[in-house]
Amino acid sequence: MDVEFLYFMLFFPVLGVFEILAVVFSLLFMHYSAKYRNQKLSTGWYVCGVLFGLWTVIVYLIKRKDFPGPHTKKCFQCGNSFPDSLDECPNCNIALPEINPDEKRKQKKLSRGFGIAFIITYIIIIIAGISFGVLLSDNMYDYIEYLDEDDRISVDGVFYDKMGNSYDDEDSVMLYDEDGHTYLYTVETDDALDYEKSYYIRDDGKKYVSYDCYVTEDGWFYCDKAFILELYSVDTSTMTQEELDAYYDELLEDEWEYKYYDYPYVDREGNLYYAAYEASWNENGELITAENDIEV
């Protein structure tokens, strides 16, 4: 399987997992950091962490300085904070909660560990995003180049028709039918709709919409007025697993080497046809097909 295709298939599920991990690590970091500073993490922080991720962590780090601190005691009755050296609230005259040094060290260690895990996870997400962007940009560039390529296949830069006549421009290639008529490709613009439409115009002026036009296996012009042609599909039901794997591997390898004969059309009798605007011939007037290919 193509490595780039595999990367595209795996990117979004894997990225989703890392984003979930980043949210979980950020919540755990804020939770243990707040406990270490004698501040309960409210439900609001958790909700914001799920919704906004990194931004919640940034706001938390800014607001964290307002928390009591790891070496303070908070009175249950009046809510005031006092140094850990006091055992009794001077306002309420009740005992202040004891601070467990071991528990504090554990909270600090967990806070730091989940904070580091959160940072590493976000770095992975950023690197993966940049890599995906570069790969997408490269493939988009290849696709644009592919769109700029000729639809017809040229032989040493020259295009030929069924009669062996040569052309410098693929749109000038003449098509022929069995009755002796000739057909020329043309594009017309509807000024009102600002829309271009392509036709094959017969030598007597009759127009045929280009997307309805095909050539037969013998290279003759054919217009599918009744829309009976269907895209030919390879019957994979009789293939072995090895043949099936080889077939799909070949399709992936040829992704950017598209040739019209890879996608023929078929009628009810099983006769093959090829899109007229992509049909190509060699210098001998022979239709270029999968069995009669040339170096391009």
Q: Give the HSE-up count for residue 196: Cα atoms under 13 Å, Cβ half-sphere.
A: 3
pLDDT value, residue 294: 47
Q: Which residues contact 135 (CB under 8 A, 6 or more apart)?
A: 4, 7, 8
- Sign for the CA dihedral angle at 52, 53, 58, 61 comes to positive
Q: What is the pLDDT of residue 1?
A: 44
What per-residue confidence (pLDDT) applies to 180? 95
Q: Which pLDDT does position 8 carry in this prediction?
A: 65
Q: What is the pLDDT along the chain (296 residues), one digit of tens a residue?
A: 455 556 667 778 888 888 899 989 999 999 888 888 777 777 777 888 888 888 888 888 888 877 777 777 778 778 787 877 788 888 888 887 777 778 888 888 998 999 999 999 989 988 888 877 777 666 655 554 444 455 788 888 899 999 999 999 899 999 999 999 999 999 988 776 667 889 999 999 999 999 999 999 899 999 998 889 988 776 777 888 888 787 767 665 554 444 555 578 889 898 989 999 888 998 999 888 754 454 43
So where are the chain's domains? Answer: 3-148, 159-275
Cα(29)–Cα(32) distance, rounded to whole angstroms?
6
55, 26 Cβ separation under 8 angstroms: no
CB atoms < 10 A from the CB of 162, how many?
19
- 156 φ/ψ sector (left φ>0, alpha ψ -120 to 50, else beta): left
Of 242, 244, 217, nearest in space to 229 by CA: 217
Bridge partner list, 73: 82
Owner of token pair 């009740």: 94
**289 with 210: CB under 8 angstroms?**
no
